[in-house]
Amino acid sequence: KQEVTQIPAALSVPEGENLVLNCSFTDSAIYNLQWFRQDPGKGLTSLLLIQSSQREQTSGRLNASLDKSSGRSTLYIAASQPGDSATYLCAVGASYGKLTFGQGTILTVHP
């Protein structure tokens, strides 16, 4: 059974800092790994998707890496802004479409 863990559970940083969110998973037989953003009471917005054969993906100030052998992924956010404040969720994709989510990291960026 796939289990996904995210560390830290919450993070508060001043504006402008670079930060790293961590995700670990127990079964390395994954289809892909995705990072989502969730604003309070809202649905999920896809940020980055890394296929199982890839090592990293970048979009603007976001960079996500994947190490399947060690069961780890990191999301790097450069030059954080107050608008980045949200919950960040890591999800592992199985071959038949199921996503297994971590519990999320609540990020607060204060001015």
Residues that bind other proteins (CB under 8 A): 4, 6, 31-32, 34, 36, 41-46, 49, 89, 91, 93-104
Instruction: Report the distance separating Cα 50 and Cα 92, nearest Å.
Output: 10
| Least Cβ distance, residue 88 to other proteins (angstroms) | 11
Q: Taking the chain, what is the end-to-end CA distance rounded to the nearest angstrom?
A: 41
Residue type, 86: A
Closer CB to other proteins, residue 81 or residue 108?
A: 108
74, with CB counted inside 10 A (0-12, 13-18, 19+), is middle
| Least Cβ distance, residue 79 to other proteins (angstroms) | 27
Task: Give phi and psi for 96, each to the nearest 5.
Answer: -95, 10
Closer CB to other proteins, residue 15 or residue 27?
A: 27
| Least Cβ distance, residue 69 to other proteins (angstroms) | 20
Closer CB to other proteins, residue 10 or residue 79?
A: 10
CA 11 to chain centroid, in Å, comes to: 13
Closer CB to other proteins, residue 34 or residue 57?
A: 34
